Amino acid sequence: MSVVEQYARAHITDEDTQGDPDAVPVILRYDPDADPRAVRIDLPGTHEWTFSRSLLEQGLRAPTGTGEVRVWPLGRVQAVVEFHSAQGVSVVQFDSKTLARFLRRTYTATPVAH
């Protein structure tokens, strides 16, 4: 099976960026050989988050998640992925279309197991 990797731009708010309005490059990654149910988001620096593909999909429609990763729609065209760690909270804002396109590509690589 093939790895899906998509480069995207997102707005990140955390203690380091202080709400910097400039979009930064992030990498959306899906490796079905490593875990067919997980996706990964690589933020600038050494921030790397792996979480459920279904959590990302559900969060495009309604708020979801507890613990370290939460996802929710922001209006009609944007979505927020919020990451919690011992170092603080990072709030990452994406265009919803970017995340939906990435998810479609992951389902082409590996369909949902029932």
- The pLDDT score that the predictor gives to residue 78 is 96
Q: Dump strand ranges (E) for 37-77.
A: 38-42, 48-52, 69-74
What is residue 63's DSSP assignment? -
What does R_g of the chain's alpha carbons equal in angstroms?
A: 13
Tell if the pTM clears 0.85, that is, is over it: yes
Rounded Cα distance between 96 and 34, Å, is: 25
CB atoms within 10 A of CB 15: 9
Q: pLDDT (tens digit, 9 = 90+) per residue, 27-70? A: 999 999 999 999 999 988 768 899 999 999 999 999 999 889 99
pLDDT for position 20: 53
The Cα 16–Cα 106 span in angstroms is 31
